[in-house]
Amino acid sequence: MKILFIGDLNEYGRSFQRYRNLKELGHEVAGLSHTPVSAEAGSDKKGGFLSRVAWRLRFPLDTTGVNNNIKEVVTKNDFDIIWVEKGNTIRPKTLKFLRNLKPLPKIISCSEDDMYASHNHSFYYKRGLKYYDVVFYYQNLQS
């Protein structure tokens, strides 16, 4: 399967582990990070003051340009699945664009957090839910 994986692709995170595992399972996987990757010059995971204010207001900034990058990648390649991990910065307009692709890929939202908890989701995430084919989250229930 051809998969476009969109998530936090910092090597220390579990999102990156899932990205790598999909590759190891034999899938053809392209990756886009919606979070600055540590190795990038001048990247700051916490962001500046404006980024923190925007997040508090539930309108996070697209600091990596992932929405434009998604559109660019999908116009040059066909994918069977578009896998989005905690897509708080993915705009509904971008998801709507994906809904018009031919052939139409399955669009999946995945998160380790309860995305209905107010501190875990953004305005963009809630408005974009209708464009996903599958939405799931999972929780580690170890005591």
CATH classification code of 2-137: 3.40.50
Q: What does the pLDDT look like over 5-28, one tens digit per residue?
A: 999 999 998 999 999 999 999 999
Interhelix angle for 66-76 vs 92-99, to 10°?
10
Residue 115 has what pLDDT?
72
Residue ranges in the chain whose pLDDT is less than 50: 41-44
Q: In what order do the strands lie in the sheet with 106-111?
A: 28-33, 2-7, 81-85, 106-111, 134-137
Amino acid letter for position 119:
H
